[in-house]
Amino acid sequence: MEKYVMALDAGTTSNRCILFNKKGKICSVAQREFPQYYPRPGWVEHDANQIWATQISVAVEAMQKINAEASQIVSIGITNQRETTLVWDKETGEPIYHAIVWQCRRTAEYCDSLKAQGLLEMIREKTGLLIDPYFSGTKLKWILDHVSDARQKAEAGQLLFGTVETWLIWKLTKGRVHVTDYSNASRTMMFNIHTLKWDTDLLKLLDIPEQMLPTPKPSSCIYGYTDASFLGAQIPIAGAAGDQQCALFGQACFDIGDVKNTYGTGGFLLMNTGNHPVVSQNGLVTTIAWGLHDEITYALEGSIFVAGAAIQWLRDEMRLIESSVDSEYYAKKVHDTNGCYVVPAFTGLGAPYWDPYARGMIIGLTRGVNKNHIIRATLESMAYQVNDVIRAMEADANVSLGQLKVDGGACANNLLCQMQTDICRAPVLRPKCVETTAMGAAYLAGLATGYWQDQEEIRANWQLDKLFTPVMTLDQSKKQIAGWKKAVARCRNWAKE
Ligand SMILES: Nc1ncnc2c1ncn2[C@@H]1O[C@H](COP(=O)(O)OP(=O)(O)O)[C@@H](O)[C@H]1O
Ligand SMILES: O=P(O)(O)OC[C@H](O)CO
């Protein structure tokens, strides 16, 4: 009977389970969306129990779809929306508050106060990160400060903190294992990416009791075994990494300088920088890509908060399209945006601007601008944002981009891929399997359990679907980018009192 590695991909809007075989082929998929909560403008929450319930249900469903038995699952890899912050009671297992999602801006003012204290360099030096509400540390502090008795209980050792992979591992092992992996830990603003330990200075600054934090581990190792009641047997959980780091791994970006961009809800461009962290001078963050075979691989990352989510906004809020796929059809009805720009700064701007007070904008409107132009401008905004990050990365790493591997839901859009190569002037490569995030998690779990022998075997599984190269003139591309920069400048600081 065929053996599989199970990848659990816990995303921002949906949870997925994919079963992969040795060739990296998808043998079964199940996916389920879960509710998003927006209790106040700029706030985003999830219900941790709903994350768990949807994740375990898709795992069961993916197995049922191909009648796979538990004995056929050699190991499980988990990949997840990063930074999202959960706190639960150690005894009852009940979350004490909704999960605060990475997109949530509620700690913007507190972050301002940290910046005003001149802590930017110290935090960057230890964590590789900038000070922004995006990262988990200030979200965790918010929960401890605002949920009644939370700090007191945390100090008494009654509460546990985790990002989503920690929560899922804890649930799958019925509360036996409380761990995180280095890549997820590196997104918390509490973890020292050089010593690979929780940083006591930062914990003191944020007033976080260390006993509530999970044990940091490599991204490929056996963390524990699933309780047999869930999937029918005790299965090793042997891989875990943040979704963007997993996509880098799944794209076989194993060499220094390899770059991928994922166009999902957000957009995330990562460059492998090898065993040495590169410090950004241009608004990027330094992050741990993965810990594997006793080695740490670092990456430079540009995180764009809204990419595919802007297409969802066209669909759900503006009702200009019925499905995301339609965006290509309408955008192709016009040759350009007729001078219109959409800046989708709905939750502020991430890299390389880091402005939590920026807000979305449509600019350049004239009477000739129609629905198709606005849809086209929204698609183009993804390409411009990615280009901004590429230029920052080139400056930081002192290289020019050779090629860009792409993945994520929106990369199915051929027009978007063409826009991307036209704007950034590098070849854009789309692989046959764009489920690179889940694939990366499966590879990490499969390497730990001997299903795959080494990274060379994984590299051989990567196959090109389509190559995109520039057709737009360089002059035209420069002109459009100049317009984009002007538009971005106008939306900065909008929500600041
Ligand atoms: N053909 C398309 N053109 C443009 N955007 C798309 C297309 N298909 C999907 N998307 C966008 O991609 C996103 C979904 O990608 P996915 O990788 O599943 O996201 P996530 O993992 O963040 O939940 C959605 O925001 C959706 O609007
Ligand atoms: O859920 P995704 O794929 O949009 O990824 C979210 C990121 O991990 C946030 O940092």
CATH number for the domain including 214?
A: 3.30.420.40
The pLDDT tens digits of the residues spanning 289-326 come to: 999 988 999 999 999 999 999 999 999 999 999 999 99
Domain membership of residue 218 (yes or no) is: yes
The number of residues making up the chain comes to 497
* Binding-site residues: 12-14, 16, 82-83, 134, 243-244, 265, 308, 312, 409, 413
The Cα 388–Cα 410 span in angstroms is: 18
pTM here?
Answer: 0.93
Domain membership of residue 262 (yes or no) is: no
Q: Which ligand sits nearest to residue 82's alpha carbon?
A: 2
Domain membership of residue 296 (yes or no) is: no
Secondary-structure percent of the chain, ordered helix, strand, coil, rounded to 5: 35, 25, 40
Q: Which of 54, 103, 244, 407 to mutate to test the pocket of ligand 2 (most atoms within 8 A of CB)?
A: 244
The Cα 148–Cα 170 span in angstroms is: 24
Q: Residue 157: enclosing H or E segment and its boundaries? A: none
| Closest residue by Cα to residue 188 from 120, 260, 242, 240 | 242
Ligand 2: centre distance to CA 302 (Å): 12
Neighbours of 453 (CB within 10 A): 10
The Cα 77–Cα 481 span in angstroms is: 40
Domain membership of residue 168 (yes or no) is: yes
Name the residue at shortest CA distance from atom 4 of ligand 2.
Answer: 265
Backbone angles phi, psi at 171, to 5 degrees: -70, -45
| Closest residue by Cα to residue 464 from 407, 385, 381, 423 | 407
Strand order in the sheet with 73-80: 26-33, 14-20, 4-10, 73-80, 236-242, 220-225
> What confidence score (pLDDT) does residue 137 get?
97
| Closest residue by Cα to residue 132 from 352, 393, 298, 307 | 352
Tokens 């959980």 correspond to 237
Total domains present in the chain: 1
Helical segments of 305-352, H only: 308-316, 326-331
Domain membership of residue 141 (yes or no) is: yes
The Cα 336–Cα 380 span in angstroms is: 10
> What confidence score (pLDDT) does residue 168 get?
98
50-53: long-range contacts, CB 8 A cutoff, minimum separation 24: 51/10, 51/15, 51/99, 51/164, 51/167, 51/168, 52/167, 52/168, 52/171
How many Cα atoms within 13 Å fall on the side-chain side of residue 294? 0
- Any residues with Cβ below 6 Å from ligand 1, and which? 11-14, 264-265, 308-309, 311-312, 324-325, 327-328, 408-410, 412-413
pLDDT per residue as tens, the chain (497 positions): 899 999 999 999 899 999 999 988 999 999 999 999 999 988 999 999 999 999 999 999 999 999 999 999 999 999 999 999 999 999 999 999 999 999 898 999 999 999 999 999 999 999 999 999 999 999 999 999 999 999 999 999 999 999 999 999 999 999 999 999 999 999 999 999 999 999 999 999 999 999 999 999 999 999 999 999 999 999 999 999 999 999 999 999 999 999 999 999 899 999 999 999 999 889 999 999 999 988 999 999 999 999 999 999 999 999 999 999 999 999 999 999 999 999 999 989 999 999 988 999 999 999 999 999 999 999 999 999 999 999 999 999 888 899 999 999 999 999 999 999 999 999 999 999 888 999 999 999 999 999 999 999 999 989 999 999 999 999 999 999 999 999 999 999 998 87
Q: Ligand 2 pocket, 170 CB below 6 A?
A: no
| Cα-only R_g, the chain | 22
Q: Which ligand sits nearest to residue 102's alpha carbon?
A: 2
Q: Which ligand sits nearest to residue 246's alpha carbon?
A: 2
Domain membership of residue 496 (yes or no) is: no
* Per-residue DSSP letter, 44: -
> What confidence score (pLDDT) does residue 161 get?
98
| 267 strand-pairing partners | 263, 304
Domain membership of residue 323 (yes or no) is: no
Ligand 1: centre distance to CA 408 (Å): 7
Tokens 């890509």 correspond to 289
Q: Is the dihedral of CA 459, 460, 463, 469 positive or negative?
A: positive
Q: Which of 36, 260, 321, 324 to mutate to test the pocket of ligand 1 (most atoms within 8 A of CB)?
A: 324
> What confidence score (pLDDT) does residue 244 get?
96
* Binding-site residues for sn-glycerol 3-phosphate: 12, 82-83, 134, 243
The Cα 393–Cα 399 span in angstroms is: 8
Q: Residue 62: enclosing H or E segment and its boundaries? A: helix 48-65
Q: Which ligand sits nearest to residue 83's alpha carbon?
A: 2
The Cα 424–Cα 468 span in angstroms is: 11
In order, the DSSP letters of 171-238 are: HHTTTS--EEEHHHHTTSSSEETTTTEE-HHHHHHHT--GGGSPEEE-SEEEEEE--HHHHSS--EEE
Q: Is the dihedral of CA 291, 292, 295, 297 positive or negative?
A: negative
Q: Which domain holds residue 204?
A: 4-244
Domain membership of residue 429 (yes or no) is: no
Terminal C-alpha separation, the chain: 63
The pLDDT tens digits of the residues spanning 113-126 come to: 999 999 999 999 99
Please confirm whether the linkage preceding 427 is cis (ω < 30° from 0): no
